[in-house]
């Protein structure tokens, strides 16, 4: 049952042009750095990327934007990427902005096998244009579809050869939800252990959701916005 592959290049080899992929992480925390680099090197294009963020100009999904490999971006926060802004304003990039809770719930629905969710977020705004609205107990809700995703790429702190994953701190925001949602889920981990070495009570994503896993390397762990207190 070993799901181990050699490296990121092998893990993403069959991600094809035009694929829809989820990329885990929150801001620059817990993003699958090795797989993104491998996708850039492979040159896969016309991608639809679902992510909490669009990276920054020279890191994360920003690397795929820089090489024009992304056709459409589905995100909730994109404010740190000048190249993203340029492509959006020039019409080069399709963009769907989603409230963050809705993004998370649509990921969750995909993993749970639910076709849709209903949410009050976005009712009466541009987000609701063209979408079905239903009233429950006197309150309007938007119907939002679960994502239909070819691949989910996540990054975990620890994993084992059966694909069980443990995430650390902030990286738990979107990675566990996305790990459940891909038709094929790829996990890169900081530490890969033999099956049975992880404490079962600490596992966040069971290995049944994960199809490929490898130990990554050279993680930068950048800080998106560093704020420090002025000294007197």
In a domain, 126, yes or no: no
Residue 193 has pLDDT above 90, yes or no: yes
Q: Is residue 90 part of a domain?
A: yes
Domain-located, residue 134: no
207-228 residue pLDDT tens:
999 999 999 998 887 776 777 7
226 part of a folded domain: no
- The answer to whether residue 232 sits within a structural domain is no
28-85 confidence digits (pLDDT tens) = 889 999 999 999 999 999 999 999 988 888 899 999 999 999 999 999 988 778 888 8
In the predicted model, what is the mean pLDDT of residues 190-195? 96
Give me the residues paired with residue 3 across strands. none
Overall domain count for the chain: 1
What is the pLDDT averaged over residues 129-156? 96
| Mean pLDDT score, 127-149 | 95
Q: Residue 224 domain-assigned?
A: no
- Residue 64 has what pLDDT? 95
Provide the residue range defining the domain that includes 89: 8-114+147-215
The answer, yes or no, to whether residue 1 has pLDDT greater than 70, is no
CATH of the domain at 209: 3.40.1080.10
Residue 39 lies in a domain: yes
- The number of beta carbons lying within 10 Å of the beta carbon of residue 179 is 27
Phi then psi dihedrals of residue 128, to 5 deg = -85, -10
Please state, in angstroms and rounded to a whole number, the distance separating the CA atoms of residues 180 and 61: 21
Q: Taking residues 173-201, what's their average pLDDT? A: 95
Q: What is the mean pLDDT of the chain?
A: 93
Strand ranges (E), the chain:
20-23, 47-50, 70-75, 94-97, 116-119, 133-136, 139-145, 151-160, 165-166, 184-193, 212-215
- Give the residue from 183, 207, 191, 214 showing the smallest Cα distance to 35: 214
Provide the pLDDT for residue 57. 87
Q: Is a pLDDT exceeding 90 seen at residue 116?
A: yes
How far, in Å, CA of 165 to CA of 121, rounded? 31
Structure tokens of 217? 């390397």
Rounded CA gap, 220 and 207, in Å? Answer: 26
Does the pLDDT value for residue 118 go beyond 90?
Answer: yes
Least confident of 12-16, 33-37, 86-90: 86-90
Residue 127 lies in a domain: no
pLDDT confidence bin for 150, thresholds 50/70/90: very high
H or E stretch at 177? helix 175-181
Q: Which of 10-14, 78-82, 154-158 has the lowest mean pLDDT?
A: 78-82
Q: Higher confidence at residue 2 or residue 153? A: 153
């Amino acid at each position: 049952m070993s799901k181990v592959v050699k490296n990121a290049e092998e893990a993403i080899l069959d991600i094809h042009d035009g694929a829809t992929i989820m990329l885990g992480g929150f801001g620059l925390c817990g993003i699958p750095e090795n797989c993104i680099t491998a996708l850039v090197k492979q040159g896969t294009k016309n991608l639809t990327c679902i992510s909490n963020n669009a990276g920054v100009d020279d890191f994360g999904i920003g690397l795929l934007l820089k090489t024009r490999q992304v056709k459409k971006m589905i995100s909730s926060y994109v404010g740190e990427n000048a190249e993203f802004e340029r492509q959006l304003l020039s019409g080069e990039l399709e963009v769907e902005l989603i409230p963050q809770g809705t993004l998370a719930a649509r990921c969750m629905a995909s993993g749970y096998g639910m076709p849709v969710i209903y949410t009050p977020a976005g009712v009466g705004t541009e987000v609701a244009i063209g979408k079905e609205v239903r009233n429950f107990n006197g309150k309007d809700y938007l119907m939002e579809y679960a994502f239909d995703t070819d691949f989910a790429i996540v990054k975990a702190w620890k994993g084992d050869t059966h694909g069980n994953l443990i995430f650390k701190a902030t990286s738990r925001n979107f990675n566990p939800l996305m790990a459940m949602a891909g038709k094929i889920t790829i996990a890169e981990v900081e530490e890969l252990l033999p099956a049975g070495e992880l404490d079962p009570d600490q596992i966040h994503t069971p290995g049944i959701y994960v199809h490929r896993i490898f130990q990554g390397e050279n993680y930068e762990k950048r800080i998106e916005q560093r704020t420090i207190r002025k000294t007197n």
